[in-house]
Amino acid sequence: MTLLAIVLAIGLVVDDAIVVMENIYTKIEQGMDPHEAGVKGSAEIFFAVIATTVTLAAVFFPIIFLQGITGRLFREFSIVIAGAVIISSFVALTLTPMLSSRLLKKRKKGQHNKLYEATEPFFSWLTTTYKNALDAFLKRRGLFTPLVMGIALILIAVFWVTIPSEMAPLEDRSQLRVNSTAPEGATYDYTLRYSDELADLMREDIPEVDDIFQIVGLWNNNSAFYSINLVDASERQRSQQEIADDLGVRVRSLTGARTIVTQQQTFGGRRGGLPVQYVIQAQNLNKLKEFIPLFMDEVHQSPHFQNYDVDLKFTKPELRVHIGREKASLMGVSVRNIAQTLQLTLSGQRLAYYIMNGKQYQIIGELERVDRNKPADIAAVYVRNNQGLLIQLDNLVTIEESSTPPQLFRYNRFVSATVSAGLAKGYTISDGIEEMDRIAGLVLDDTFSTTLSGDSRDFVESTSSLLFAFGLALILIYLVLAAQFESFRDPLVIMFTVPLALVGALLSLWYFGQTLNIFSQIGIIMLIGLVSKNGILMVEFANQRKAAGLNANDAILDAAGARFRAILMTSLSTILGILPMALALGAGSESRVSMGIAVVGGLLVASVFTLFVIPAMYTYISENTKSVSNVDEQVDEVA
């Protein structure tokens, strides 16, 4: 995450230096000496640089204090970027003016190099075209400004509902997890035979398999676990997801056990369990026993899930041996003798050791397998009474077959069952949670309560944390700008850049088929500070023009034209710095690409529209003239 922050910072740290140097060079072109231009140019842009730096640092301030998995992930990320931006502004206001005064040379009027002469006509035309377009836009701002903002807000609402959400995209880590569960009561030998058959299938039919780590009977005799390592992604034609889908189809041909293929989540549990984990809480076990089958039937019919399971099962076979105490007493057989006889014949208890040929062996007391395979075999066992006679257990006990849960679960002190489900192709974890809620409303009555666990709970908590961070970032930026501008109006103008950036980010995510996840949401939070830079540059320069005596309309026109090139350069530098991330190159790119697309798309759209919307909003919200005291201060400074 710190390396990711450094990659992002490449495009950010040059922004302040670009703004300062562009202003200094403009002064030199106006005829100033390089030293004088360095002093006055950096002084003129000083406030805007400080404001943009504090704004961007304020965006990451809430992220540093987030709790849960989001806070653990992005704390170092936020510190690195905020620190890099703060240091870059210090360099831009100190080292950049000094270097500019030494390296930039004053040229005679009309004396320029060939590159300047080749490109300047285009940039002059571009600036003139923008000024003319902005002038026309401001004359019709009463129509265009509400239209643009209205469309932006509508698109935000539509895309926010339309774009699927998830914790984080699955990364291709060249690893798969396979869990097999044989029928309850299956022996270790049965599970081992099935496990070997499944391992042979995976080695023969999946050419991308490098090696398989296989565990049988670690938790129960009827369970098996496989960790599959694939060859490196660069050496195979299929992705990890495609291999998992293919393997999931193939294992269904083996009906000896229930087998589920999973992938390790990008964040969360290390065992790679199913992503949707829905906890059903009830007042007693009988209620769960009645409603769980109905709930699982609905899950089976839902197109959202491709595999599913529930931890609470009532399928473990059990034999209840009822001893006729009166009859046993009449025959001289104690309950203790019956219990010890069953233990010795069926439990496989170690009785002693013996040594043969220098090796030690265990003595296990147990009937032959053929004599203990069926429940009826228990009745054929003999027990000795107090007179030394052998009496068949069939005369003393009755046997009842039943099924019970292998284990009971509790969640928040309630009897509970956790339904786990894998998502079908095209669905995300948010879709799965919504579908589980729908099924719960359809099947369960009011006595039940539901909650989330595992990756599903992490997803909901991270989403709420990021929404809180987004709102807090907006408030902090407004308050910081209000303190710096000493006005509540000017920061409000700048805040209108946020909806434009948000609609650009969401539009890009939707167009490229990305999801709303913690990476793309962090990118959206970053956009608040990035796009605010453009507004700060224009508003600050417009305020200086107003202080010189211009009205609001003329001031913003002049400021927008003067800052046009700086805004283009800073926006393009940031976009180009983040573009490699959006191109999805390298290992683990599945997670980074959504952040890159959100930031690049948001900056592109916001950079275009803020050049028109912010000046229009400035003419509406900002005061038409500067206060008398500020004008006097400006006159004194000029004098």
Q: Band the pLDDT of 273: cuts 50, 70, 90.
A: low
Task: State the average pLDDT over residues 369-390.
Answer: 82
- Report the DSSP beta bridge partners of residue 592: none
- Predicted local distance difference test score (pLDDT) of residue 311: 83
- Predicted local distance difference test score (pLDDT) of residue 109: 61
The overall average pLDDT reported for the chain is 83
- Predicted local distance difference test score (pLDDT) of residue 108: 65
- Predicted local distance difference test score (pLDDT) of residue 16: 84
Domain boundaries, the chain: 2-162+459-638, 174-263, 316-404
pLDDT tens profile 210-237: 888 888 877 777 788 888 888 887 788 8
- Predicted local distance difference test score (pLDDT) of residue 411: 84
At 236, list the tokens: 């195979």
Query: Cβ(244)–Cβ(171) under 8 Å?
Result: no
Q: Report whether pLDDT(116) > 80.
A: no
Q: Report whether pLDDT(266) > 90.
A: no
Query: Cβ(458)–Cβ(69) under 8 Å?
Result: yes
Task: State the average pLDDT over residues 626-633.
Answer: 44
Torsion angles phi and psi, residue 352, rounded to 5: -170, -170
Query: Cβ(505)–Cβ(599) under 8 Å?
Result: yes
Instruction: Residue 500: count other Cβ atoms within 10 Å of its Cβ.
Output: 27
pLDDT tens profile 283-337: 888 888 888 888 988 988 888 888 788 888 887 778 888 888 888 888 888 888 8
- Predicted local distance difference test score (pLDDT) of residue 469: 81
% the chain with pLDDT above 90: 4
Q: Does 316-404 carry CATH code 3.30.70.1450?
A: no
pLDDT tens profile 535-578: 888 888 888 888 888 888 888 888 888 888 888 888 888 888 88
- Report the DSSP beta bridge partners of residue 165: 516
pLDDT tens profile 126-182: 889 998 998 888 888 888 888 988 999 999 999 988 888 887 777 777 888 888 888
CA distance 622 to 555: 11
Q: Which fold has domain 2-162+459-638?
A: Multidrug efflux transporter AcrB transmembrane fold (1.20.1640)
CA-nearest of 493, 526, 485, 577 to 57 is: 526
- Predicted local distance difference test score (pLDDT) of residue 154: 93
Q: Band the pLDDT of 268: cuts 50, 70, 90.
A: low
pLDDT tens profile 38-64: 888 888 888 888 888 888 888 887 777
Q: Band the pLDDT of 507: cuts 50, 70, 90.
A: very high
Q: Band the pLDDT of 588: cuts 50, 70, 90.
A: low
- Predicted local distance difference test score (pLDDT) of residue 256: 82
% the chain with pLDDT above 70: 95
- Predicted local distance difference test score (pLDDT) of residue 633: 46
Q: Report whether pLDDT(377) > 50.
A: yes
CATH of domain 174-263: 3.30.70.1430
Q: What is the DSSP string of 372-413?
A: SSSTHHHHT-EEE-TTS-EEEGGGTEEEEEEEE-SS--EETT
At 568, list the tokens: 């283009």
